[in-house]
Amino acid sequence: MPARRLRQELEARGGQLSWYLQAEPKARHGRREVRAIWALTDPELNAYVGSSGTHGSAWPHLAQLMLVERHRLTIRRGRVVDRESEQIPFITSAGPERFDARALLGMIRGHWRIENHLHWVRDVVFDEDRCQVRGGAGPEVLAGLRNVVLRLLRQAGTAAIAPALRTYAARPRDAIALVVSARASR
pLDDT tens-digit readout, 87-117: 999 999 998 999 999 999 988 887 666 666 6
What pLDDT shows up at residue 128?
A: 82
Weakest mean pLDDT among 25-39, 40-54, 110-124, 141-155:
110-124
Closest listed residue to residue 43, CA positions, set 101, 99, 96, 4: 96
pTM passes above 0.75: no
pLDDT at 1 > cutoff 60: no
What pLDDT shows up at residue 115?
A: 62
Closest listed residue to residue 41, CA positions, set 21, 56, 19: 19
What pLDDT shows up at residue 125?
A: 84
What pLDDT shows up at residue 8?
A: 85
Helix count and strand count (H, E) for the chain: 7, 4
Mean pLDDT within 10-26: 86
What pLDDT shows up at residue 170?
A: 94
Name the DSSP class of 77.
T
Beta bridge partners of 28: 31
